[in-house]
Structure 1
């Protein structure tokens, strides 16, 4: 369709130029328009539309080839997630994280979005075929803090805390987290806090607590 419109415009310009400027002016105008039209077509052919979680992103194919051996560097129209009608690729992934991932292709710098948790960010990077170790130094501490939290939880889980003393619901109620506990929305800190309390304030709750 684009080519048809371009040809029609080209012929129209030729007729107008012949009437106004004569043959010489028409040829010059024709060459100039043909060059502009060719650049426009090349630009459109190089563009790619990515629909991620319902949010449309537009970039260039050359941009996606900057990081080889990744999912985005291997896009072809034969993939099942390519829609020829909309001329876009659809990915049912997190659009907020993808904004940072696409920026990584553009700038070569991978930043961590602070509005998502670390494990989710790692899952998205793994899906797109990117290395988490490429996160910029300015974001590294914020990004890796979830690993420290997970390690702390793992250590506390090995302390043999006696769950017969207080149930999980009773502990949550004691610390004012009952609603979050029942709805399954307990944060990492809400899970750690009761275990730390048992460790220091209940000397018979576990072998580790007896040592303290």
Structure 2
């Protein structure tokens, strides 16, 4: 009987131990349900939120939660999320997460920058100014901002050289940067007004007056006495005033420029010089020997024609003309392709028109070079009508020339238009970037 009692006692003790263990487990389970242990890597009130480098962080952006590794954010340690001290200000212990009351859709792309190692992709539904503000708020840095503009199709302009001398710098800003100050805007407005006055005077001067109708019928040259009278006409004084302004402007810009070689080789500066030089050459040739008067008059006509290049001086103050110039420079290959196609069609259709019209007695297509004008006018859809095919075969060739001309012109035009849209979009984005940066600076000053 003793062994049986000992065995029952052992079974009783084992049952009590199992019961106590089960109660302990149930109690621990209830505690775990009531006070769950924090997730691996997420910060709590008793432990630093970034104790482990591979911990998972929860980021709440206006109600939308994102989770990522800490070492993913550490790829950009100077940013708001990458710096533990900076993001600690936005940590909420009650919810064990970082909370940001910011744009949710934009944050998806910002988090992707950390995940992809620097690829900036703006969502199409997020405007550029909003996305820029979000990137600046999260302190993504200038390199990523530059990467953003490159992804948007904007090419960063070259760094502008500025004179080291304070006085030269002030003059250079007045003459080259109209947005730098009110005085620079006034000077730019005066320059535009003088250019417009010079162009109007140049055009109005060609209107004949009663005293200027005395022209030598045999040579077609102005009488020499009238040339002297021209120096005292109102147009001469208008021209003199404009030339003095252009000369002073060019001299001041040359004196204050940071690099003389770059200034001399600039296309716009060459245009400025070409617009000024004819006046002084004209004034010098007006006092030359009377024996060389015929040569002087011929040169004067050419120099007067060169004055029309002043219209290109407006490109210095017009963004639209600058965009057009960039479009032409980037579309050189397309223009060459268009000229190549036109040259081939010119030879083919001019030859066809000449042989088709060879039997007509009153035909004006006397040679292949004489037919070039008809083909060129027809392919460009101008159609002056001075040369008209008379034979049925000539009309067939002319019809084919018109159809091929429309197709030839239509091929490179979309590419040129796309280049124009590209540069126009870049200018708009540049203006948006400047306005956003100015707004941020004003906001910082207000704070």
| TM-score calculated relative to the size of structure 2 | 0.23
Q: Which has the higher strand share?
A: 1
Pick 1 or 2: higher relative contact order, CA cutoff 8 A, min separation 6. Answer: 1
Q: Which has the higher helix share?
A: 2
| TM-score calculated relative to the size of structure 1 | 0.45
Structure with larger Rg: 2
